[in-house]
């Protein structure tokens, strides 16, 4: 059994899965998950990170620096647990960035392949339509030839071979 996801994140994931080729949906999902990681990481570091985080604003500042890999160094955890939380935020940020980058890239590749397949299907339909037209012309021509042959045969007695 998997852990329940927050409704906001779940709705963004559902929207993304419904239309993965949408850059808008990919962007909204990325921003939503990033904001959730920043907020959760900020609250945890604020509560358990030690004296370097006197308020939530400082904790948010630290988490933003960490998740964006900027790391100015003006605020750093001084407790073991604070360093652990910072490490988790770093790993999540790197993993998340990698996964999202791969997901968005594969989404664009899939969309390009879908467009290519649609174009190829249109081209094949056009080719088949040309073949159908030509086959109709040939069938009409054969029918006219058969009609003429029947008329010719009706006008003359049949010869034995």
CA distance readout (Å), 35 to 30, 48, 64: 9, 20, 9
36 lies in some domain = yes
Domain contains 159 = no
Within 98-161, strands assigned E span none
Q: What is the pLDDT of residue 84?
A: 85
Is residue 161 a part of any domain in this protein? no
In this prediction, residue 158 carries a pLDDT of 56
Q: Closest Cα partner for 44 from 83, 4, 93? A: 83
Measured torsion, CA atoms of residues 40, 41, 43, 46, in degrees rounded to the nearest 10: 180
Would the pLDDT of 21 be above 90?
no
Q: Is residue 160 part of a domain?
A: no
Cα separation, 29 vs 6, in Å, equals 13
Higher-confidence residue of 136 and 111: namely: 136
Q: Would you call 31 helix, strand, or coil by DSSP?
A: helix
Handedness of CA 14, 30, 32, 9 (dihedral sign): positive
Pure H helices in 49-79: 56-67
Q: What is the CATH number of the domain that holds 69?
A: 1.10.287.70
- Enclosing domain of residue 144: 7-154
Domain presence at residue 120: yes
Residue 53, pLDDT > 70, answer yes
Domain-located, residue 2: no
Chain centre to alpha carbon of residue 81: 37
Choose among 42, 45, 34, 43: nearest CA to 96: 34
Domain count along the chain: 1
pLDDT of 83 over the 70 cut: yes
Is 117 part of a structural domain of the chain? yes
Q: How many C-beta atoms lie closer than 10 Å to residue 14's C-beta? A: 11
- Looking at residue 161, its pLDDT comes to 45
């Amino acid at each position: 059994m998997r852990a329940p996801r927050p409704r906001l994140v779940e709705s963004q994931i559902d929207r993304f899965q419904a239309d993965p080729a949408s850059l808008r949906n990919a962007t909204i999902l990325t921003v939503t998950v990033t904001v959730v990681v920043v907020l959760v990481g900020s609250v945890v570091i604020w509560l358990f990170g030690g004296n370097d985080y006197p308020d939530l604003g400082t904790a948010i500042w630290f988490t933003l620096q960490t998740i964006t890999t900027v790391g100015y160094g003006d605020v750093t955890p001084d407790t073991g647990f604070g360093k652990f939380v910072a490490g988790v935020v770093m790993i999540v940020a790197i993993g998340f960035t990698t996964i999202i980058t791969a997901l968005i890239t594969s989404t664009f590749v899939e969309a390009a392949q879908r467009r290519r397949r649609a174009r190829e299907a249109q081209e094949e339909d056009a080719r088949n339509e040309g073949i159908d037209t030509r086959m109709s012309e040939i069938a009409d021509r054969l029918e006219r030839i058969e009609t003429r042959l029947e008329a010719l045969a009706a006008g003359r007695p049949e010869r034995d071979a």
